[in-house]
Amino acid sequence: MRDEILSRLEKLGEYIRILEDYQKHSLYEIKGDHTLRAAVERYLEISIEYFWIWGR
């Protein structure tokens, strides 16, 4: 169980780092680029799901 939690935390950290990289783009850029917007939305979705699953 401990290894699973550590693995999930590492993965969550990876997603957060990816999202931090997207912060260099303005909101205008993200809204105007469908691929960029989809990527940001997907990484946010995955990150939120990790927290939601743990909260059960």
pTM of the predicted model over 0.85: no
Is there a contact between 19 and 37 (Cβ–Cβ < 8 Å)?
no
The pLDDT tens digits for 1-56 are 778 778 888 888 999 999 999 999 999 999 999 999 999 999 999 988 877 776 56
